[in-house]
């Protein structure tokens, strides 16, 4: 039995205005993996003609947030997802359209168990940014937390 996560793209576009402004599209969404695409826009390029670093970062961070939403949507009434830290590693000059693949690095059940135990759990999402030819241009790790909502 598969679960439909099509609602995640709509939720991201409605709750995070940058997603729509930038033109991020969601091509694959599962509880532990999301793939997003971003079309090359000339006005968003850097001094060497590739997508600006901020655009690449934003695409990967968006994909990581969608993974968090898909994995922990049932916890949103009692916890708020927040970014703790991010690290991006640029590997190759990016050109053209980009794809970001984000993958949850630990079982969601473990994160939820920590939340159930009264902790403020953290979870990492690893992201790979690729150009239209599938070449990895950057890798990013986003560390998230589920901050319990105080009653």
**Per-position pLDDT tens, the chain of length 151:** 357 898 999 999 999 999 999 999 999 999 999 999 999 998 988 898 889 999 999 999 999 999 999 999 999 999 999 999 999 999 999 999 999 999 999 999 999 999 999 999 999 999 999 999 999 999 999 999 999 998 7
CA distance 5 to 9: 8
Classify residue 84: in a domain, yes or no.
yes
CA distance 136 to 55: 15
Classify residue 121: in a domain, yes or no.
yes
Token look-up 């990967």 returns 60
What per-residue confidence (pLDDT) applies to 94?
92
Strand-pairing partners, residue 100, are 36, 129
What per-residue confidence (pLDDT) applies to 46?
85
Classify residue 18: in a domain, yes or no.
yes
Classify residue 75: in a domain, yes or no.
yes
Classify residue 69: in a domain, yes or no.
yes
Number of domains in the chain: 1
Classify residue 27: in a domain, yes or no.
yes
Classify residue 2: in a domain, yes or no.
no
What per-residue confidence (pLDDT) applies to 105?
98
Instruction: Tell me how far CA of residue 60 lies from CA of 35, 78, 125, 138, in angstroms.
Output: 9, 26, 10, 9
Domain extent at residue 116? 7-148
CATH at residue 96: 3.10.129.10
Instruction: Tell me how far CA of residue 123 lies from CA of 27, 28, 69, 101, 136, in angstroms.
Output: 23, 21, 12, 16, 23
Classify residue 1: in a domain, yes or no.
no
């Amino acid at each position: 039995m598969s679960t439909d996560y099509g609602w995640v793209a709509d939720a991201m576009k409605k709750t995070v205005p940058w997603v729509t402004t930038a033109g991020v599209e969601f091509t694959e969404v599962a509880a532990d993996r999301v793939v997003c695409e971003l079309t090359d826009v000339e006005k968003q390029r850097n001094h060497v003609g590739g997508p600006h670093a901020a655009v690449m970062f934003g695409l990967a961070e968006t994909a990581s947030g969608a993974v968090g939403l898909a994995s922990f949507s049932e916890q949103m009434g009692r916890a708020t997802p927040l970014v703790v830290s991010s690290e991006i590693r640029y590997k190759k000059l990016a050109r053209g359209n980009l794809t970001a693949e984000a993958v949850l690095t630990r079982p969601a059940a473990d994160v939820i168990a920590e939340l159930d135990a009264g902790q403020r759990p953290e979870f990492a999402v690893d992201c790979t940014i690729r150009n239209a030819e599938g070449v990895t241009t950057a890798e990013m790790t986003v560390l998230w937390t589920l901050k319990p909502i105080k009653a």
